[in-house]
Structure formats: structure tokens, C-alpha cells
């Protein structure tokens, strides 16, 4: 009996203490500023997570029609990033992120052309080397006006492109206008790998020029371009053109790899961000001889990593720039995979050229970009490739 009596005050004390702790916890939940930082952060995070879950529960349970909790969450995450008003940051849901990862050297079935819309059909701006289109003699500037018996006049680019694409081994008939000449060609579609880098040799007034093209800064792009550069030089190229038109950029590390093919040492680019210290990226060695003259060919769609390479070669005096002003992006992004299989592509800092220039307009605003040394505009409707012809003339003159 005595031992039971002794336990009773202890039980009461524990109950009272528990109630006090509960009351204090409830009060602090409404006044988190009274807590130390470490505890306040944890409490607020838990409170925010509870609020999000509460709203998701209510919508999925009580909304007038069934709705997916996962779909709601993905849309909410996308809206959160959209609220930043940053055109370069985005949320990838798991499906979109898988598609993004598969974009490097995608396999396609088609004829091997890159096109832009034209009121009369599709204007060819590039033909992939060794593709069925190249074998059939299609070239830059050609206008596709009919696929089979279907006229493309007034049709959307998506509609017209779907008619041209198709299963490998099947045939498609195109009506093409080249200058004043109209012709019909039948092409057998093939499985293609969209080239990231390519090279060819052109001759300008007796000067052999290596025409190097790079379409994106995907993983391994620098190594591919280095191989193409070696092939061009082995084939007797006396000068080089690096064509970065329509190149929207990609990986920062690949920009350093590409610039290092041509710049032997020193700074390529520097970066600065709020959550990471300033970093300077240097040339990695193994550059080709600097006595080989170069031109970088650009247009308004040359952006991001392509601008980093262009500015590095211009600032270091390694190449002249021919074309128009580039896009004018002065920030860079990092992709962080998320636990749901998606990813966040987030602007984390600004980049600066070797001379300290930022090519943007302040933050995520578009800026002036790189100014060309020699202005030359693209005109897809004109026969031939005017900007490339100007680049050939400029780089050939460096040998005289």
C-alpha cells in the first residue's frame, strides 16, 4: 500500500509536466520567433509541410471530381518555379526529366534536315552530313513546297514535318524549289543520329577551310568537336570556321572543353553565385596551334555556352566573330535531381568572359550578347549561305 501511494504523486507530476509541455508547444507553434534558429527552422518546415499535405488531402478528398495527388504536386512545383519570373529556370516532372535525359544525340527516323517555317512550306537551314537528304542533293536555302501530293502552303511547320518523318526504309517524295529551279526528289528515310558536331572542307579562292559545326553543348560535345577539328586539319585545312549559329548552349563544362581546343591557356570563363564562391575555369591544354586563323560564326540564336565560347575566343584574340549580336544570356543553371524522379533546373549564378564582361542585361534579363567583329546576317530565303560566305572571306584574308 505504501509503495502504491508513493507512485501516485509521481504519476500526477508526469501528467502535469506533459500538459505543460503540450501548452508550451502549442504556444511556440504560434510564436516561432521565440525559438532558437535551429529549432525554429525545423518547426516552421514541419508546419509548412503539414499545410501542403493538408491542402492536398482536402483537394483530393473533397474536390467535385477526382484528381491525382501526384498531378497536383507536379503542377504546384512547376508554379513555384514559374513565380520566379525566370525564363531559364524550370521544374521537370519525372516524365519530362526522362525525356530531357534522352535528348542527347536522339535517334530519329527521317531524311536528315533542319527546317524553319516559310509561308510556302519549309525552308531548309541545315542538312545533316551523309544523311538521305544530303545524298539527294538538298542544301541550305532549298524550299520544300510539297510532300507527295500535299501542298505545304499555309500549313503549320509541325504538320509539314510530320509528313516528312516516317519509318526507316519507307520513301517520301518532296517537291523542292532551289532558286528559280523546281524539282521533285524521292528519298528513302533512314534511322539517324542527330549530329552534335560535324566537319567539312570548303575551298575559298584556293584556301582550304575547315567548316566545324556544333549544334549543342551536350555531354561529350567537346571530345566530338576535337576529333572533327583533327580530321579537318589532317585533310589540309589552313584555317577554321566554328559555326555556332542556332546553338542554344548546354553544359558549362563542355563550353570549357570546346574553348580549350583553340585557346592554349588562361581563363575561359568565371562564375559567381549566391550559394557558391567565385570560380575561374581555365583552358585544359592540348590546343591546336594558334597560328591557324579562326572565325566564329554566330547569330541571334547563339546563346549560353555557345556565347561563353564565342566571347572567350574573342576576348583572348584567338578568333574574329562574324554574324550578328548573340542572344545575350548572362546567367547559368544547374540541374538538381529530386526524390520523385523529377528535377529542378535552377539559375544559380552569373558568368563573366575573360575580360570581365557579363553578356546579359542584369540578372535573368536578356542583354546585348557578343558584338561581332564583322556583321553578316542570315537570310534563309536567299540562295546559298551569305553569312558563311562572309566568314570564309574573313578567315581566308588572315592568311594573306
The span from the CA of 30 to the CA of 7, in Å, is 35
Cα separation, 11 vs 15, in Å, equals 6
Give the pLDDT score at 5. Answer: 45
State the CATH number of the domain containing residue 380. Answer: 3.90.226.10
Domain identity same for 281 and 385: yes
Is 174 found in the same domain as 136?
Answer: yes
267/102: higher pLDDT = 267
Dist CA 371 CA 262 (whole Å): 20
In a domain, 96, yes or no: no
Confidence at residue 140, expressed as pLDDT on a 0 to 100 scale: 84
Question: Mean pLDDT over residues 234-256, rounded?
Answer: 95
Whole-number pLDDT of residue 48: 78
In angstroms, the Cα distances linking 106 to 60, 83, 212 are: 38, 32, 20
Catalytic one of 161, 198, 260, 304: 304
Strand spans (E) along 205-361: 207-214, 239-243, 267-272, 279-282, 294-298, 320-323, 331-337, 343-352
pLDDT (average), residues 74-102: 89
Question: Is 97 among the domain residues?
Answer: no
**Active-site residue, 304 included:** yes
Pairing label, strands 207-214, 239-243: parallel
Q: Residue 133 — very low, low, confident or very high, per pLDDT cuts 50/70/90? A: very high
pTM (2 d.p.): 0.74
- Residues 242-263, mean pLDDT to the nearest whole number: 95
Judged by phi (left if over 0) then psi (alpha if -120 to 50, else beta), residue 2 lies in alpha
Question: What's the pLDDT score for residue 10?
Answer: 58
Which pLDDT tens digit goes with each residue over 228-237? 999 999 999 9
Domain-embedded: residue 101: no
Question: For position 14, what pLDDT does the model report?
Answer: 57
> What does the pLDDT average to over 144-161?
92
- Percentage of residues of the chain with pLDDT beyond 90: 61
Same domain, 54 and 150: no
- Bridge-based pairing state of the strands 320-323 and 331-337: unpaired
Q: Is residue 371 part of a domain?
A: yes
Query: Which one is catalytic: 142, 211, 329, 385?
Result: 329
Structural domain includes residue 316: yes
Q: Are residues 340 and 205 in the same domain?
A: yes
pLDDT tens-digit series, residues 164-217: 988 999 999 999 999 889 999 999 999 887 778 999 999 999 999 999 999 999
Write out pLDDT tens, residues 310-322: 999 999 999 999 9
pLDDT bucket at 126, cuts 50 / 70 / 90: confident
Q: What is the pLDDT of residue 336?
A: 92
Q: Is residue 94 part of a domain?
A: no
In terms of Cα–Cα distance, which of 87, 79, 89, 81 is closest to 361? 87
Mean pLDDT of 369-387: 86
Segment 272-284 shows an average pLDDT of 92
CA atoms within 13 A on the CB side of 181: 8
Is 232 in the same domain as 366?
yes
Q: What's the mean pLDDT in 127-151?
A: 91
Residue 109 banded pLDDT, cuts 50, 70, 90: low
Name the pLDDT band for 13 (thresholds 50, 70, 90).
Answer: low
pLDDT of 34: 47
Confidence at 388, pLDDT banded by 50, 70, 90: very high
What per-residue confidence (pLDDT) applies to 16? 47
User: In the annotation, is 329 catalytic?
Assistant: yes
Identify the residue with better confidence: 86 or 44.
86
| Nine-digit cell string for 101 | 535525359
Half-sphere CA count of 388, side-chain side, radius 13 A: 24
* DSSP classification of residue 337: E
For the stretch 21-36, pLDDT in tens is 444 454 444 544 544 5
Last residue of a domain, which of 176, 193, 210?
Answer: 193
Last residue of a domain, one of 141, 165, 193: 193
pLDDT of residue 348: 93
For residues 291 and 181, membership in a common domain is answered with no
210 and 318 inside one domain? yes
Burial of 185 (0-12, 13-18, 19+ CB in 10 A): middle
Residue ending a domain, among 27, 53, 88, is 88
- From 315, 320, 378, 385, active-site residue: 315
Same domain, 252 and 384: yes
208 and 72 share one domain: no
Give 265 or 156, the one with higher predicted confidence: 265
183 lies in the same domain as 210: no
Count how many domains the chain has.
Answer: 3
- Report the C-alpha gap between 339 and 357 in whole angstroms: 37
- Report how far residue 256's alpha carbon sits from residue 269's, in angstroms, rounded to the nearest whole number: 8
Give pLDDT, residue 127: 86
CATH of the domain at 169: 2.30.42.10
Is residue 230 among the annotated active site residues?
no
Place of cell 531559364: 88
Q: Are residues 167 and 67 in the same domain?
A: no
**Please, what is the average pLDDT of the chain?**
87
Rounded CA-CA distance 395/296 in Å is 10
Q: Is residue 221 part of a domain?
A: yes
- State residue 108's pLDDT score: 61
Q: What span, in angstroms and rounded, lies between the C-alpha atoms of 255 and 307?
A: 9
Which has the higher per-residue pLDDT, 116 or 312?
Answer: 312
Q: What average pLDDT does the segment 321-326 reach?
A: 97
Regarding whether 131 and 23 lie in a shared domain, the answer is: no
pLDDT score for 396: 96
**Residue 368 belongs to some domain of the structure:** yes
Domain enclosing residue 356, as ranges: 197-397
Cα separation, 229 vs 294, in Å, equals: 12
Amino acid at each position: 500500500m505504501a509503495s502504491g501511494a508513493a507512485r501516485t504523486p509521481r504519476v500526477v507530476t508526469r501528467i502535469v509536466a506533459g500538459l505543460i509541455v503540450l501548452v508550451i508547444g502549442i504556444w511556440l507553434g504560434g510564436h516561432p520567433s521565440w525559438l532558437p534558429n535551429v529549432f525554429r527552422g525545423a518547426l516552421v518546415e514541419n508546419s509548412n509541410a503539414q499545410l501542403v499535405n493538408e491542402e492536398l488531402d482536402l483537394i483530393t478528398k473533397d474536390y467535385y471530381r477526382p484528381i491525382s495527388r501526384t498531378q497536383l504536386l507536379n503542377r504546384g512545383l512547376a508554379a513555384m518555379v514559374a513565380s520566379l519570373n525566370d525564363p531559364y529556370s524550370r521544374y521537370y516532372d519525372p516524365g519530362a526529366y526522362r525525356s530531357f535525359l534522352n535528348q542527347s544525340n536522339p535517334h530519329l527516323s527521317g531524311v536528315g534536315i533542319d527546317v524553319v517555317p516559310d509561308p510556302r512550306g519549309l525552308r531548309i537551314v541545315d542538312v545533316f552530313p551523309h544523311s538521305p537528304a544530303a545524298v539527294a542533293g538538298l542544301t541550305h536555302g532549298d524550299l520544300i513546297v510539297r510532300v507527295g501530293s500535299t501542298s505545304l502552303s499555309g500549313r503549320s511547320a509541325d504538320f509539314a514535318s510530320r509528313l516528312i518523318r516516317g519509318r526507316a526504309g519507307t520513301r517520301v517524295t518532296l517537291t523542292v524549289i532551289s532558286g528559280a529551279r523546281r524539282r521533285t526528289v524521292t528519298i528513302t528515310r533512314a534511322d539517324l543520329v542527330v549530329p552534335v558536331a560535324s566537319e567539312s572542307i570548303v575551298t575559298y579562292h584556293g584556301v582550304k577551310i575547315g567548316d566545324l559545326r556544333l549544334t549543342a553543348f551536350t555531354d561529350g560535345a567537346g571530345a566530338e568537336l576535337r576529333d572533327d577539328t583533327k580530321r579537318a586539319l589532317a585533310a589540309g585545312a589552313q584555317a577554321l570556321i566554328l559555326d555556332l549559329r542556332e546553338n542554344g548552349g548546354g553544359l558549362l563544362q563542355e563550353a570549357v572543353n570546346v574553348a580549350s581546343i583553340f585557346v592554349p591557356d588562361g581563363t575561359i570563363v568565371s562564375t559567381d553565385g549566391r550559394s557558391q564562391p567565385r570560380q575561374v575555369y581555365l583552358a585544359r591544354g592540348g590546343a591546336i596551334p594558334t597560328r591557324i586563323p579562326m572565325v566564329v560564326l554566330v547569330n541571334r540564336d547563339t546563346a549560353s555556352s555557345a556565347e561563353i565560347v564565342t566571347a572567350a575566343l574573342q576576348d583572348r584574340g584567338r578568333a574574329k566573330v562574324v554574324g550578328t549580336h548573340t542572344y545575350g544570356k548572362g546567367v547559368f543553371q544547374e540541374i538538381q535531381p529530386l526524390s520523385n524522379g523529377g528535377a529542378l533546373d535552377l539559375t544559380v549564378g552569373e558568368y563573366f568572359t575573360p575580360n570581365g564582361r557579363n553578356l546579359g542585361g542584369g540578372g535573368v534579363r536578356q542583354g546585348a550578347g557578343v558584338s561581332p567583329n564583322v556583321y553578316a546576317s542570315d537570310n534563309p530565303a536567299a540562295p546559298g549561305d551569305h553569312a558563311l560566305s562572309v566568314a570564309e572571306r574573313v578567315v581566308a584574308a588572315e592568311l594573306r
